[in-house]
Amino acid sequence: MRLIFKTVILSLLILVSFHAHAKLGFVGIGVSDIQKSTKFYQDILGLDVIGTYDDITVDNADGSESFLDEVVLGYSDKPGTLLVLMNWPKEEKKYDGDNVKIVFEVEDAKEVMKKIKKAGGKIDREALPHYTIEGGLVGLGRDLDNYVVEIIQWKAN
């Protein structure tokens, strides 16, 4: 019994140590127009272009190849998770953001929601108080490919 207990504890410690060193580095989404989507995220959230990659060869599991373009966005003055916009220009793909949500923390949620609307995005929920963010605001918009863009403004100190 002690051996089983020790094995379980050791296994849990190993799992915890793996999680403690993991960091989400990138989130990638497929977009129908990489230039328009790049401009959308730059204008609305102030993201910077960190890198662009054209005609990347992807080896598929079936032995075929695909070609994709990417734009990597983030804040050049602060490290953090980067957003990768991906487009397959030589393939017919369905770009639709159903069941995908990208969450951003901002200083002025109401202003960001106005920018989303002005840029042609949809608003599902204006930036309003929400029970999950005591004293803050939560808004739900959609980008040009229908991805949910959740905007969170934390309570000011």
Distance, in Å, from the CA atom of 76 to the CA atom of 105, rounded to the nearest integer, reads: 16
Nearest alpha carbon to residue 68 among 85, 51, 83, 48: 85
**Rounded Cα–Cα distance for residues 34 and 39 (Å):** 9
CA 88 to chain centre: 18
The whole-number pLDDT of residue 16 equals: 43
Tens of pLDDT along the chain (157 residues) come to: 444 434 444 444 444 444 446 677 889 999 999 999 999 999 999 999 999 999 998 887 888 888 999 999 999 998 889 999 999 998 888 888 877 899 999 999 999 999 999 999 999 999 999 888 889 999 999 999 999 999 999 988 7
User: CATH for 24-93, among 1.10.10.10, 3.40.50.300, 3.10.180.10, 3.40.50.2300?
Assistant: 3.10.180.10
pTM for this predicted structure:
0.76
Q: What's the confidence (pLDDT) of residue 84?
A: 95
Return phi, psi of residue 6, to 5°: -65, -40
Rounded Cα gap, residues 74 and 51, in angstroms = 10
pLDDT value at residue 61 = 81
Report the CATH superfamily, name and number, of domain 96-157: 2,3-Dihydroxybiphenyl 1,2-Dioxygenase, domain 1 (3.10.180.10)
What is the pLDDT at residue 21? 62
DSSP, res 64: -
The ranges of the chain annotated as CATH 3.10.180.10 are 24-93, 96-157
DSSP secondary structure of 88-148: -TTS------TT-EEEEE-S-HHHHHHHHHHTT-EEEEEEEEETTEEEEEEEEEE-TT--E
Instruction: Please tell me the predicted confidence (pLDDT) of residue 22.
Output: 65
Nearest to 125 by CA among 137, 135, 134, 136: 137
